[in-house]
Structure 1
Amino acid sequence: MHALLYPGLAVLAWTAAGVRLTTTLRDGTGNPARHAVTGTFALLALTFTVSTPAVWAFADRAVGVDNIAALIAHLCVVGFSTSIQVLLLWWTNPPERAGRHSRYRLVALAVVVLVLVVLFGGVGPTDTHSTDFVATYAHRPQLAAYLLMYLAAFSAGLVDIIRICWPYARLVGPGWLRRGLRTTAVGAAVGLVYTLARVRDVVAAICWDDLPRLERLVPITASTGALLVIGGLTMPAWGPRLAAVPGTAHRIRLLRQLRPLWSALCAAVPAVRLAHDRRWWRPADRLHRRVIEIYDARLVLRPYLSEAVGDRARRHAEAGGLGGDDLAAVVEAAKLRAALAAMRADVRPRRPELPGPPDPALDEVREVEQLARVARAFATSPLVGAAVRETAEDAAGGGGGW
């Protein structure tokens, strides 16, 4: 389990750290909160990296001290919890108060690091145990003291994270920041399950050696807690983008639906094509541009739009049981298709389109949806083709339909 969970979480945490570092360097900000975020992810990434069995064994050989990876991982975990506290303090307090309380926690971190290093040095000789180091040596009083000190410091940090996150989440408005703070608090609570399992194992190793260990629970709770914390701290950044995915997908569908009509109109009236701009790659901007170009082309085609074609298309649509927006889309599509043919032949209709009453106000979303209906009818509706063809036949036969 260690060989699967820990490398994956290490990659995830290193990626998050790299993204935050890139953002900080690009913005050139001296905001301590940004540095705390980067440090948080880097410490978490290092924790899971050295806890990976292969890296654990390599670190032991490279340093020449068995299980040195355990000390590195535990120091990173304590530093990780402290950096989250510093981050949250800068998020939730004025700079002066945040700076003062951050210094207190950094001093406490330095004391804890010193004590842990001293206690680890007194543990005595051990053999490399990358997955069961605690279970193997927890019966030693020196290691028990080391582990209890590490777990106490880590638990205090987790409790502080919950104490800061959960109440402050109620103060911010509904949104991704609130969700992120609560997710971080839940991750810290899961981390407390990890520390309690570790404390139980240490106490059991000293007092009740025959008590079964909770070693299987350790990697699951550690990984789950870390994943929730990573998600919570980054949620204000990726949450809005995730929420925008359905809207982006819908805009892409609309772009695809508008393409047949847009292509036909732009081919006939190339002057309506707007100049290229690097901003147009976004689906929302491309859709806005495409709608403008369709409307501009329709203005050029206005002298060729035929009321006769529209009337015939309306009769066909009503006979087919269409009504409302679908009927209006068929009528508009038939007029546009006939107008394109009329412009190519340079033939003006005998009954040109008359200015009608202004359409009821539509919001932009409904307007584009209706234009997409027109495009679908333009490309696929047999009613449109029938109306255009019959009107043209009447005109050719002298019926005056055009």
Structure 2
Amino acid sequence: MWACIVLRAPHAVVSRSQRPLWLIVLAAAMANSLDLGQTGRLIDRWGWEGHGVDLVRNVCGVISAVILLEFAGSVTGSRALGRWLRAAAGSVVVAVVALDLASPPHDTHSVGDGGPPTPSTAYWLLVVVTHLAANWVCALVCLRHLGGTDSRRLRAALFLFSSGAVFASLFWLGALSELATGPSWPLSLKPYFLALHGLLTSAALTVPTAAAVRQAVTEARRGWRIWPLWRELMQACPNVPLSQPRSRLLEVFSPKRKRQLLLYRQVVEIHDAMLVLHDYATADVRATAQRWSETGSHGTDSTAAEVAYVLKGAREAKLTGEPPRRHGLPVTGPGGADLAEETAFLARVAEAYAAVPVPVSPSPAAGRTGGPHGTPDTDDTHGIHEGRLA
């Protein structure tokens, strides 16, 4: 829980919408940490009073429960409900402290240990009812809104958070059963309920981080896959890249903003190279590419395989000194709606490009549409670096 809190702290500071959930996990982590046996031994070693530590632990738990209620209220969009909940939070905290101070002298807070509840039954009833109300309301609100969103990340967070609230309710139902009938609840299960509550609420808090990590891994993998294709095309079209070829590791493992910028530049430069190479593509190479793409030996879809074959053939023709043709064949794919789709397609092209048999024989000089006096062999006559995805 503490690792998730530290991880999400920068986002909670700047995002008002994420702050309540972060505060819920923070207060719950403080309460759970004070309940650990290692913490108790440390407190005994330093000479602190167990009574005061237990009071702080329960106050943190109550604060977490009330913020949970406010979080559920914020989902409904009611500002008036939020004000009432904050007022109720202050009242409950004051009441918990007052009940503790009004009780007879006691050491630790306990319930269901074979003796009367300490500090008092009223104290524990207030704590237990507050937690149960908060977790039930939160679970119901989250489950109600679970089917009303198309966002997979939001659905995952709502499901995890509601599941955590359910396990917390089971823990406090056990405490209520002990308060009413004594130690009849299966005590061995209570720590697991509390542990699952902490695990699931922490997971809900870190859903955005997990999604960002997944996106970064996907971008890095696609950047790694298209880098060989980009390098091959830049060697054939040296006037296309804006700068000298960069290290593959630096391309893939750069910081997020730089990595996305480099990936975008690679996509644009690959398409600019396609504009240059389409003057070197021939009908013979295209026909051979169609036949090869239908064999299935390339390991990807036929469209990407055909584009890869034509690209390699056009590249070979340019590097062997073939002149450009006046009416070349377009060397493009279907294009993508965004950078993610485009890089995914180019990654498939790069996979097929590596499988294209070499050499790819260019068409013979006879029958060329252009010729030595056709379109000049330049790399900057097709709108290089205009930033257009095919």
Q: Given the two structures, how large is their TM-score scaled by the length of structure 2?
A: 0.72
Distance in 1 (alpha carbons) for counterparts of 2:3 and 2:195: 16
Q: 1:377 to 1:340 in 2, by over 3 A?
A: farther
The code of the aligned residue for 1:291 comes to V
Query: Where do 1:236-385 residues align within 5 Å?
Result: 237-238=208-209, 240-241=211-212, 245=214, 249-274=217-242, 281-283=258-260, 285-301=261-277, 305=280, 307=282, 310=285, 313-314=288-289, 317=292, 324-325=302-303, 326-342=305-321, 347-348=322-323, 352=325, 354-356=327-329, 362-364=335-337, 371-372=346-347, 374-382=349-357, 384-385=358-359
Distance in 1 (alpha carbons) for counterparts of 2:270 and 2:276: 10
Distance in 2 (alpha carbons) for counterparts of 1:353 and 1:377: 28
Q: Tell me whether 1:118 sits opposite 2:86 in the alignment.
A: no
Contact 1:194–1:222 under 8 Å retained in 2: yes
Q: Tell me whether 1:151 sits opposite 2:150 in the alignment.
A: no
Greater RCO (CA < 8 Å, at least 6 residues apart): 2
The code of the aligned residue for 1:199 comes to L
| Pairs aligned (count) | 353
The code of the aligned residue for 1:22 comes to P
Contact 1:187–1:227 under 8 Å retained in 2: yes
Identity of aligned residues (%): 20
Superposed displacement of residue 91, structure 1: 3.6
| 1:193-224 deviations in Å (ceiling 9; x for gaps) | 1112223334444xxxxx66622111101111
The code of the aligned residue for 2:106 comes to G
Unaligned runs of 5+ in 2: 245-253, 372-390
Which structure shows the higher helix fraction? 1
Distance in 1 (alpha carbons) for counterparts of 2:292 and 2:73: 65
| 1:256-279 deviations in Å (ceiling 9; x for gaps) | 333223212323433322369987
Q: Tell me whether 1:221 sits opposite 2:193 in the alignment.
A: yes
Contact 1:313–1:387 under 8 Å retained in 2: no
Q: Which residue is equivalent to 2:93?
A: 109
Query: Where do 1:54-65 residues align within 5 Å?
Result: 54-65=38-49
Q: Which residue is equivalent to 2:383?
A: none
Contact 2:228–2:350 under 8 Å retained in 1: yes
Distance in 1 (alpha carbons) for counterparts of 2:281 and 2:147: 61
Distance in 2 (alpha carbons) for counterparts of 1:254 and 1:35: 34
> Whose Rg is larger?
1
Q: 1:78 to 1:282 in 2, by over 3 A?
A: same
Distance in 2 (alpha carbons) for counterparts of 1:320 and 1:97: 65
Q: Residue 59 of structure 2 aligns to a residue in which SS?
A: helix
Superposed displacement of residue 44, structure 1: 1.2
The code of the aligned residue for 1:161 comes to C
Superposed displacement of residue 308, structure 1: 7.6
Q: Which residue is equivalent to 1:98?
A: 82
Q: Which residue is equivalent to 2:251?
A: none
Q: Which residue is equivalent to 1:7?
A: none
Pick one of 165, 172, 178 that aligns with 1:188.
165
Distance in 1 (alpha carbons) for counterparts of 2:331 and 2:277: 19
The code of the aligned residue for 1:338 comes to A
Unaligned runs of 5+ in 1: 1-11, 206-210
**Superposed CA RMSD:** 4.1
Q: Which residue is equivalent to 2:250?
A: none
Q: 1:353 to 1:260 in 2, by over 3 A?
A: farther
Q: Given the two structures, how large is their TM-score scaled by the length of structure 1?
A: 0.70
Q: Tell me whether 1:199 sits opposite 2:173 in the alignment.
A: no
Distance in 2 (alpha carbons) for counterparts of 1:312 and 1:165: 57
| 1:334-359 deviations in Å (ceiling 9; x for gaps) | 221221232xxxx526xx37344897
Contact 1:183–1:232 under 8 Å retained in 2: yes
| 1:106-160 deviations in Å (ceiling 9; x for gaps) | 32332233213433xx25357xx9xxx6454x41354462434432332233233
Q: Residue 272 of structure 1 aligns to a residue in which SS?
A: coil
Contact 1:166–1:185 under 8 Å retained in 2: yes
The code of the aligned residue for 2:37 comes to P
